[in-house]
Chain A
């Protein structure tokens, strides 16, 4: 209530604080701190919105909440607690999603300032667009572990949140997951896919069986010119054999596939087979960890350069009568279980999961949730057995949970510091001292100049090619028009990737409506391929999201996607569309540049100008952390380096890697690491609800419709 006491603030600031109306988006780690700072500073007109409820694991930092509040609305409890600090404040709390249509541009226009303390990118993108539209300054903030950042977004003056491409989720080629895992994460992803194959929503790109079409398994005879491949007869025979089997398998798969109403393919064979076996632990174990591995071993080319996997037999694993007394193994979260212990955990989890699965009605399935004990046990056990088979280091359940659940560590101090800087910036914004609103980064370790709360050197202006804040924004969409359907164009490209809520799409040349925001109006188009509707190379689409007041032109650029390649890629800047060779040359040049930079850095420290050991934020675009998510929520993935994108030097001093903005769009077809969602989206809505039994989920279509709401889980 500083502003209520004369003489504390300089006069002008005192008046501004007293009369300003502010919106806080998110009542999580940063939001709680921001709200406290606002009421104590003397802001009296505050609104706060958060759709989340309080979880026990929030209490180590979200200090407005206590044990008795677990399960209650974050926004409402935060309001109550903050009012006790300053009973004179007027706070309106909304237990709701900020992307709900109740909060349109008119809503945002009420405020002098918006402070965003969100934990996921989809909601951030949305708030960014709303603030740009309403022309309200936005102070955007985020933390992850020891790292935090605060930046001002103001229309026409600064970069918007979407001016710089954001890091993509790390993803792995399907054959790495299915055939040749080499890291624990590969086995964890596989184990989650296995869960889905048995009990969850089964996705086409989440196959767990050996992939006989792995290019690595084929003879590499092209390189040898006309020389015969050096494989001996036996191997050739095997290759033949596997080819046959492949054909057989794909036939089998075809039979086993069943198109559902929403057009997705559900593989019922593994699931049905497991059910027919009554979920017999031994039978299932032997199929996944013995027979399938034996099959993989026959693809001998795979094991010429790799260490071959060693199948495990259920019967060899468990000496008679040893089950039962090891029930508590699963509770030892920090211990690395032995293979025998993994077997026990597997059997117990299987028992529990199959029981809950069989209780479900109709087409319902279980949803994997890191906080659901048997689901997590199952993944930890299966991942470790597979790691053992492939001679990969095994991990504790605790560590596997981090990786499988994308948990971002979070502490009170970073949140307090970041929120403090947010509100310090709010003062400058009210005073319209824009030049003093440079972004600030908080780091664990100091930079070479001994700064660890580091303001940016400049306030970067808007990116003229930004596909959100530029006038007449346009993007190029590289897309396989022969394989992608209109429904996927809407759900995967426009909604999930470009973060629109409910777009209308017309073809520019003739004005025909391709996708309508009116329910049912263009339903007949949904199942059609783009090429069938003559959406081919060179066509320009006009997209309009009424609610976000956002229009975007999309220039279609067709390409034939290869195996394991994504079917589309958004290119925000048309100049990025270049022949491949040129691109590679450029990358090589950048790499040299990088080495140069490293050398210079070393020289600098040798010259005694300080030790540049840190990952302290630099102003260079390359190492500028483009994204830090507000802690907590689990589903924001720690941004990791795609191992093939080696043109980035990761200089991490703590557990979060910070890296340069990557190219938009991933070149490989992913079986995504963790969720099949965009990096920060929240799908496994574990923190939306108190821990409970594994929830059931309906069809995929439902899910994608409800996504924009679920996603806005705010920490």
Chain B
């Protein structure tokens, strides 16, 4: 409790880091809900890696002298690099998945491994990689400026607001595309907007917490919530709640025992998932036993 009180204090030195963790924990699962429902979970693995590659590429442009050094605006540069790589990739992958043919997993696996390899290659050829860039890609969330926090909060806020406003359209085109067409909905537009939001959220999350943690929050809270949800509202709220609570507890544990925050969060998400799975199984067993009795 003392740790929690200290962390939540307005004078806490790393307060921006906890706010960023909470934002990622609350927002990524809302985006992950759609990746889970559209059976695009592997996209959640590949896209953070692509986003990282975009960040590495943007910084390499600086190192190669193609663009000037932006010492105070590196976060913005990273965001542009991440977004420029993530959005076209997500749109192309979604289009290919929609058209069918070939192996979706194969394509995503190829994107993942290529993006990973290129990120490392760009890093080792970049003298800046030894300093801040590696930390950014690892998701070190120690030094977050007020400007970066506001920028992240604003972007996540826009994503959540858009997801909320157009939830019935996103749900309809995701669940029953054919019916959406018969209701005269522009399914290409709604798909593109949804993937744009997913891409934007992933870009911001990767910049804040790194690809591993971003994927963890995209995937595990929705999978956990799916065990218990009986309707879409419960699904979204549960996923976001699990993500937010795990981010807070994970930060407390990492601070208390001096562990890295990102891996602690993901490990904790895993514990929550397996406990939830066990509870669900036990619950089902008890219901069956009561029914037989």
Do the two chains bind?
A: no
Identify the A interface with B (CB < 8 A): none
